Structure 1
Amino acid sequence: MPDQFKYWAGVNAIRSGDLGLIEAFSSGETVLQASTFFAVMPFPTPVSPISLGFYNTFIYINLFFILYVKRVFTKVSLWFYLLFPSMALYTALSLRETLILFFMILAVTYARESKIFKSILCMLPIYFIKFQNFYIVGPVVLLYFIFNVAKKGMGLTKALIIGVIGLISLLASAPIALPLVNQFRVAMFVEDGGDPKDIELISGVSDFVLQGLTSGFYFLSKPLPWEATSALQFIQSFENLLVLGILFLITRQAWIKSPDRLAFWLLFLAFSMSIYGLVVFNYGTAVRYRYPFVIIYVIFVCADCNITRLRSNKRTENYTQPIFKSSE
């Protein structure tokens, strides 16, 4: 993945003094802004992109222990965190995705604890590293805090109302949003090596709404096995099928246990997948952008709905407990 060399070069430029830390952070270039976070980490200067990948592995391990100590994990989410192949891959590379995941999960975790100031502090780096995720996670964190979802849930009625408001907003914003979405579709397609003449633009309001409502599920599942064009994509396609099965089982269990809390996280997943589904075409890019949202969904659905197993056991389902017990 050639993008790794950009981050490696950025970290080395900052460490060598060729580029100032403040200059890099204020440059407006997301690669350099992400590189500043790597540059201040207390590790030797990386001699290769592989070396810089260990920085992300360190972040991944620290995030695990943070969630462990805060008792966010259940048995299901803990094993998913450790065994999710895409997460194992991308947290070992010298890319910004692990930083994004780290700050996104901490933002939600602090919102869950009603520590809104700390949550906001964790949101700020996301704005500089990847502003799209800031505008996705920001409203989610705000609603999570306002409705106190972890304790009270959102309620199916409120979730339905918010969904309807979102659809109306989609219709109302179409004249302004449609040109911007098409612009991003072309930009992402060209960035992934495509010819701008081959891109199919969204033709009108009805097409915009239809693709907005359907692109999310496709983005969550692609590439499908028959769409794979490389060995990695072929492996990822089977990973997708397995992950979709796990998501279905987790969602079914959550629906049985706490539909009010589940409703919020379903809105989160649908919202995030639909936005990226409208503009991302490359299969590898889709996997790379998708996995943080899948991880967040699994971790916090399991935590909020107390999902400790993928399949219910009628003899013990009334006695299931989180993986960690309180000291009270």
Structure 2
Amino acid sequence: MPDQFRYWLGVNAIRSGEMGFIEAFTGGDNVFQSSALLSLLPFPAPVSPISLGFYNTFLYIVLFFILYVKNIFTKVSIWFYLLFPSVALYTALSLRETLILFFMVLTVVYARESKIFKSILFIIPLYLIKFQNFFILGPIVLMYFTFNVAKKGMGLAKAVTISLISLAGLLLSAPIAIPIINEFRLAMFAEDGGEADKISLISGVGDFVVEGLTSGLYFLSKPFVWEASGFLPLIQSFENLFVLVILFLITRKALMKSPDKLAFWLLFMALSMSVYGLVVFNYGTAVRYRYPFVMIYVLFVCADCEIRTLLPDKELPKLNSLPKINQ
């Protein structure tokens, strides 16, 4: 992935003194801002993009132990964390994706513990390196903290009310939002090698609502097997099938155990998938942008709803129904 060289050059420029840390961190280029954060890790200067990939692997391992110590993991989520193929791929590359995952997860962890200052501390770097995720996660974390979702849940009535208010807000903002979204759609489509005249733009409020709802589901699911045009997209399509099955089983179990808490995380997934579904067309980019949200959903649905197995619960036999042992 050619982007890796930009991060590698950025870290080496900061480490060698060619670029100051403050200059890189405040310069407005999220590649240099991410490079500045990576340059703080206590490792020798990377001699190649592969070397810089170990910086991200270190962050991934640190995050694992934080989640383990804070008892976020269950038997389901710990295996998902370790075996999710996209995580294995992107946490081994010299890109900003691991930083994004790191800051997003810790923002939610500290919101869950009602440590709002620490939560804010970890969401601030997210604004610099991935502002879209900041604006998606910010309102979600605020609601998570306000409603104390980890202990009390949100409640289906509140979730529906918030969804309706959000929908009304989207409808009211449509005249302003549609031109901006179309601009991003054109930019992302062109960046992925498409021709600007071949993209369908959002034409009105009705199209805006329908596109938002359908594109979110498609963004979560793509690429399908028949859409794969190479070896990596083919692998990602099979990974998708596996992940969708796991998400379905987790969601079904959470619905039976704690629907109030599940309602909040379904709202989180619907918002994040819809926002990116409106503007991302490339299959590889979709996988790359999607996996932090999928990981957060699995981690905290399993933690909040106490999902420890994907199999149906079986009641233990009562003591008085057990056969007596002859003395």
Q: Deviations over 1:297-324 (max 9, x none)?
A: 000000000000012132259xxxxxxx
Q: Deviations over 1:32-78 (max 9, x none)?
A: 00000011111000011000000000000000000000001000000
Partner of 1:193: helix, strand, or coil? Answer: coil
Counterpart in the other structure of 1:266: 266
Residues in 1 aligned to 2:285 and 2:260: alpha-carbon distance in whole angstroms: 33
Counterpart in the other structure of 1:11: 11
List alignment gaps of at least 5 residues for structure 2.
318-327
Evaluate the alpha carbon distance shift between residue 30 and residue 314 of structure 1 in structure 2; reply closer, same or farther with a 3 A threshold. Answer: same
Aligned structure 1 segments of 4 or more residues deviating by more than 3 angstroms: none
Counterpart in the other structure of 1:278: 278
List alignment gaps of at least 5 residues for structure 1.
318-328
Counterpart in the other structure of 1:153: 153
1:117-128, aligned counterparts within 5 Å? Answer: 117-128=117-128
Residues in 2 aligned to 1:125 and 1:224: alpha-carbon distance in whole angstroms: 34
Counterpart in the other structure of 2:131: 131
Counterpart in the other structure of 1:325: none
Q: Deviations over 1:185-220 (max 9, x none)?
A: 011111112222222111111111100111111000
1:49-64, aligned counterparts within 5 Å? Answer: 49-64=49-64
Shift of 1:26: 1.1
Aligned residues: 317
Residues in 2 aligned to 1:313 and 1:205: alpha-carbon distance in whole angstroms: 45
Counterpart in the other structure of 1:30: 30
Whichever residue aligns with residue 206 of structure 2, its letter is S
1:230-245, aligned counterparts within 5 Å? Answer: 230-245=230-245
Residues in 2 aligned to 1:122 and 1:202: alpha-carbon distance in whole angstroms: 35
Residues in 2 aligned to 1:100 and 1:124: alpha-carbon distance in whole angstroms: 11
Q: Deviations over 1:200-252 (max 9, x none)?
A: 11111111110011111100000000001110000100110110000000000
Partner of 1:309: helix, strand, or coil? Answer: coil
Whichever residue aligns with residue 192 of structure 1, its letter is D
Q: Deviations over 1:9-44 (max 9, x none)?
A: 111111111111111111100100000001111100
Which of the pair has more CA radius of gyration? 2
1:92-171, aligned counterparts within 5 Å? Answer: 92-171=92-171
TM-score in terms of structure 1 length: 0.96
Counterpart in the other structure of 1:213: 213
Residues in 1 aligned to 2:19 and 2:209: alpha-carbon distance in whole angstroms: 45
Residues in 1 aligned to 2:186 and 2:19: alpha-carbon distance in whole angstroms: 32
Aligned CA-pair RMSD: 0.9
Q: Deviations over 1:92-150 (max 9, x none)?
A: 00000100000100000000000000000001000001000000000010000000000
Whichever residue aligns with residue 18 of structure 2, its letter is D
Counterpart in the other structure of 1:83: 83
Whichever residue aligns with residue 309 of structure 1, its letter is T
Residues in 1 aligned to 2:6 and 2:204: alpha-carbon distance in whole angstroms: 38
Residues in 2 aligned to 1:19 and 1:260: alpha-carbon distance in whole angstroms: 50
Whichever residue aligns with residue 167 of structure 1, its letter is L
Q: Give identity over the alignment, percent.
A: 72
Residues in 1 aligned to 2:99 and 2:221: alpha-carbon distance in whole angstroms: 24
Residues in 1 aligned to 2:82 and 2:316: alpha-carbon distance in whole angstroms: 26
Counterpart in the other structure of 1:320: none
Whichever residue aligns with residue 16 of structure 1, its letter is S
Evaluate the alpha carbon distance shift between residue 105 and residue 316 of structure 1 in structure 2; reply closer, same or farther with a 3 A threshold. Answer: farther
Residues in 1 aligned to 2:58 and 2:291: alpha-carbon distance in whole angstroms: 18
Shift of 1:257: 0.3
Residues in 1 aligned to 2:113 and 2:162: alpha-carbon distance in whole angstroms: 23
Counterpart in the other structure of 2:322: none
Partner of 2:177: helix, strand, or coil? Answer: helix
Whichever residue aligns with residue 308 of structure 1, its letter is R
Q: Is residue 291 of structure 2 the alignment partner of residue 291 of structure 1?
A: yes
